[in-house]
């Protein structure tokens, strides 16, 4: 199975690899997947406390090329987004952008889960309950 050009590009030059201080109040961390399943993603966001916008984001992923590309792309898309907008990132958008084949759709699902988990972690740390917009998305 050949990978799409976009997957190869993200795989060769992954964006935003690294780690943020998970104990910082303005950092949300999402760790999803399991080593036994062959993929683990850790995605972190740092939120500007004044504007409420994501201004830094890092990831590390254990997984195949599609999993790495999905999480790399996710961090790119998160930059500059409000949490409400970040919640709207849909795994099928990732599938489309990276031209993932059906057997790799789970990689995009994992990336979406990682985004939502990071946001949830940030919200819990800061005593924010999911607002109506979020509730709608997750419904």
The catalytic residue positions are 37, 107
Site string for other proteins, 27-56 (x = CB under 8 A): ----xxxxxxxxxxxx--------------
Subset of 87-126 contacting other proteins (CB under 8 A): 103, 106, 109-110, 113
The token duo for 72 is 């790399």
Q: Is 134 in the site for other proteins (CB under 8 A)?
A: no
Of the candidates 6, 17, 93, 123, which one interacts with other proteins according to CB under 8 A? 17
How far apart CA 10 and CA 7 sit, in angstroms, is: 5
Rounded to a whole number of angstroms, the minimum distance from the CB of residue 52 to other proteins is: 26
The two tokens of residue 101 are: 């084949």
Q: Nearest distance from residue 132's CB to other proteins, in Å?
A: 26
Burial class (CB in 10 A: 0-12, 13-18, 19+), 103: exposed
State the alpha helices, DSSP H only, in 1-131: 5-12, 65-78, 83-87, 91-98, 105-125
Q: Quick count: other Cβ atoms within 10 Å of Cβ 33?
A: 21
Q: Which is nearer to other proteins, 1 or 132 (CB)?
A: 1
Q: How far is the CB of 81 from other proteins (least distance, A)?
A: 22
Using CB under 8 A, which of 61, 70, 108, 134 touches other proteins? 61
Look at the alpha carbons of 50, 52, 58, 62 in this order and tell me if their dihedral is positive or negative.
positive
* Residues of this chain that bind other proteins (CB under 8 A): 1, 3, 11, 14, 17, 19, 31-42, 60-65, 67-68, 103, 106, 109-110, 113
């Amino acid at each position: 199975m050949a990978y799409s050009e976009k997957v190869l590009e993200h795989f060769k030059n992954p964006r935003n690899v690294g780690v943020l201080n998970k104990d910082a109040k303005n950092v949300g961390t999402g760790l999803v997947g399991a080593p036994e399943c062959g993929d683990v993603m850790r995605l972190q966001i740092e939120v500007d406390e004044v504007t409420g916008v994501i201004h830094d984001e890092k990831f590390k992923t254990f997984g195949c090329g599609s999993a790495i590309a999905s999480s790399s792309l996710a961090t790119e898309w998160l930059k500059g987004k409000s949490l409400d907008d970040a919640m709207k990132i849909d795994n099928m958008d990732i599938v489309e952008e990276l031209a993932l084949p059906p057997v790799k759709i789970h990689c995009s699902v994992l990336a979406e889960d990682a985004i939502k988990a990071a946001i949830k972690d940030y919200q819990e740390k800061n005593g924010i309950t999911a607002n109506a917009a979020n509730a709608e998305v997750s419904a």
